[in-house]
A and B are shown apart, each in its own frame.
Chain A
Amino acid sequence: MNKTLKATPPVQLWEVFIRSRSGLAHKHVGSLHAEDAELALQAARNLFTRRGEGLSIWVVPSHLIVASDPSEKGMLFEPALSKAYRHPTFYNVPEEVGHM
């Protein structure tokens, strides 16, 4: 029970994106470990498309993804909310003009 094992060496992490059908964008579905891109693709196929979930797979090494900082959420995204004039509903068009 207490036999000490050699620590398992870490294996590269990949993010997986799948296009579920033609006409749709690739969407993030999860992540997996693989030593190289070819094995990552194979693993993604086995792990995420066992029931016809996709027609195309992208794998990207996780460390290459650059993400915005969640603590800067306010600074980055709040201004969009205060700019109502960017939305069509900001402008009044009389009903008799019809659909615009």
Chain B
Amino acid sequence: MYTQALNDLPTPHNLEDAEKMANFQTRIDSEDRIEANDWMPEAYRRTLVRQISQHAHSEIIGQLPEGAWITRAPSLRRKAALLAKVQDECGHGLYLYAAAETLNASREALMDQLMEGKAKYSSIFNYPTMTWADIGAIGWLVDGAAIMNQIPLCRCSYGPYARAMIRVCKEESFHQRQGFEIMMTLAKGSARQKAMAQDALNRWWWPSLMMFGPPDTDSQHSDQSTRWKIKRFSNDELRQKFVDATVPQAQFLGLTLPDPDLRQDEVTGNWMYGEIDWEEFKQVIAGNGPCNQDRLASRRKAHEEGAWVREAAAAYAARQASRHAA
């Protein structure tokens, strides 16, 4: 999901004290939470830093596609809501960087990695927001998928990450509802408005399913994350939950999901979806999506343009401190 590249994890080395490892696993198995200063296997730390920082980067980059529509929102009500949503994404990024920092990663270093193109973030944010309906589709589908992924993370074995997720989930449900409301308004509007909503759904549906990451058969590192109770459900399980929750919502809107193979399984009641284009997913993750370059360029530009603010704050703080000392 926001941490898709986890599937490229290096194989953990097993050099650590076997007894400590065993104790650690016992704590995990008994649903104890691991806290910042507790002993933990290096691979557990690395896995978490990678996952949490990718998640943080996704929140930060996720501001860009939606931020592009703040000035063009169709009403003051929509504008205020979108502004609040984008501000929340920024806050979520900050909660997550702070959680990563409890594992001895520095926020500045993590952000620099992102800007240098060395870090991954969710593939979904590399698609363009072409119409206002895209803002509705993102809130409804992308935030919907994010919530599906994040709710189990509230019970993640690592305390600081779980606590950050609880805050994020509390704030996130407004995001999905505002998106659905935008879609509902368009779907019940004029023929052109409905067509715009359908077009947005057509473009965002498959990338939203890709947010859950590769199919379980290809996701070789999930096992360790599951044993460590970082991950509680597999990619395919979460994807299925999302599809099952979303199909009736699309029906309510009177919109058609762009999947001719979509059908309900008579026995399980699950909605079976067609083949996902994993080649597209790989390309977007590898940096070849429609907006990868643009997103990083925007992030770098914002960082560079904010340099004077950081420098001024540092200079002011240094001067106040020296006056205090004098």
Q: Are B116 and A11 closer than 8 Å at their CB atoms?
A: no
Q: B287 to chain A: which residues have CB within 8 Å?
A: 1
Closest-CB distance, A20 to chain B (whole angstroms): 13
Q: Are A35 and B313 closer than 8 Å at their CB atoms?
A: yes
Tell me the bound Cα distance from A72 to B220 in angstroms: 37
Which residues, 1 to 18 on A, are CB-close (under 8 Å) to B? 1-5, 7-13
Contact of B314 among A11, A13, A46, A69 (CB under 8 A): A11
Q: A5-B112, A7-B112, A70-B35 are in contact. Are A36 and B313 (CB under 8 A)?
A: yes
Indicate with 1 or 0, residue by residue over B280-295, a CB within 8 angstroms of chain A CB atoms.
Answer: 0000000100000100
Q: Are A9 and B108 closer than 8 Å at their CB atoms?
A: yes
On chain A, the number of residues with a Cβ less than 8 Å from chain B's Cβ atoms is 28
B95 interface residue per 8 A CB criterion: yes
Q: Is the interface of A mostly helix, strand, loop or mixed?
A: loop
Q: Are B164 and A30 closer than 8 Å at their CB atoms?
A: yes
Q: A11-B310, A30-B95, A51-B171 are in contact. Are A35 and B116 (CB under 8 A)?
A: no
Closest-CB distance, B30 to chain A (whole angstroms): 15
Q: A1 to chain B: which residues have CB within 8 Å?
A: 117, 287, 293, 296
Q: A9 to chain B: which residues have CB within 8 Å?
A: 108, 310, 314
Q: Are B300 and A5 closer than 8 Å at their CB atoms?
A: yes
Indicate with 1 or 0, residue by residue over B114-127, a CB within 8 angstroms of chain A CB atoms.
Answer: 01110000000000
Given contacts A7-B109, A35-B314, 16 further A-B contacts (CB under 8 A): A1-B287, A1-B296, A2-B117, A5-B115, A8-B112, A9-B314, A11-B310, A30-B164, A30-B167, A35-B313, A36-B320, A39-B317, A50-B87, A50-B88, A51-B171, A71-B39
Chain B interface residues (CB < 8 Å from chain A): 35, 37-39, 84, 87-88, 91, 94-95, 98, 101, 106-109, 111-112, 115-117, 163-164, 167, 171, 287, 293, 296, 300, 303, 310, 313-314, 316-317, 320
What are the nearest 8 A-B pairs in CB distance? Answer: A35-B317, A35-B313, A8-B108, A36-B317, A1-B117, A70-B37, A31-B98, A70-B38
